[in-house]
Amino acid sequence: MTGIHSTSELRRCLPTVRADLHAMGVRLRTPVRVRLATEGELDGTRGDGPATLGVTHVVNDVATGITVCPGMPRVHFGSTVAHESMHVWIRQHAFPSLSPVVEEGLCELTADEWLRRQSDPRARLVRRAIATSPDPVYGGGFRAARAALTGRRMGNLLRHVQRYGVLP
């Protein structure tokens, strides 16, 4: 497979991504729709991250859906859905207002944990890109969240941030 270009390919791929996320303890209270962006739709969008591969739509602090770039290989698609799903999860679990560094760091950590479970060799390359990103919010946030996960389970880390609004 060269990439996810159609809704039918997305529907084939999404359940396995969701199953991996559930195994990680990231289960949405209400699933949100994941759809592919139409041609040019994400151009000029203030999207998520240095490269806009996905966007979580939020209306009145309620996450209403996820839109991802078409054509991504499965590992990029899955890590993008994992990242955006954590934004949704945070909205659905009534977190206090988080700094972008903390929130994007948790989302990048979720993407990285999903990638860690994949056997596709390209997953390692995507993980390296996440870990070495020079972006202070995404790369810096990831490195802080990764350090905070050391010796903890993901669920414990998330509960701490939910309670205190900062990394432990």
Residues that bind Zn ion (CB under 5 A): 48, 104, 107
CB of 120 to Zn ion, least distance (A): 22
Bridge partners of residue 54, in order along the sequence = 68
34, 68 contact by CB (below 8 A) = yes
Strands (DSSP E) along 31-100, which ranges?
Answer: 33-36, 54-59, 62-68
CB nearer to Zn ion: give 8 or 66: 66
CB nearer to Zn ion: give 47 or 121: 47
CB of 92 to Zn ion, least distance (A): 15
CA dist 102 and 140 (Å) reads: 9
CB of 8 to Zn ion, least distance (A): 27
CB nearer to Zn ion: give 20 or 104: 104
CA dist 78 and 126 (Å) reads: 11
Cβ-proximal residue to Zn ion, closest one? 48
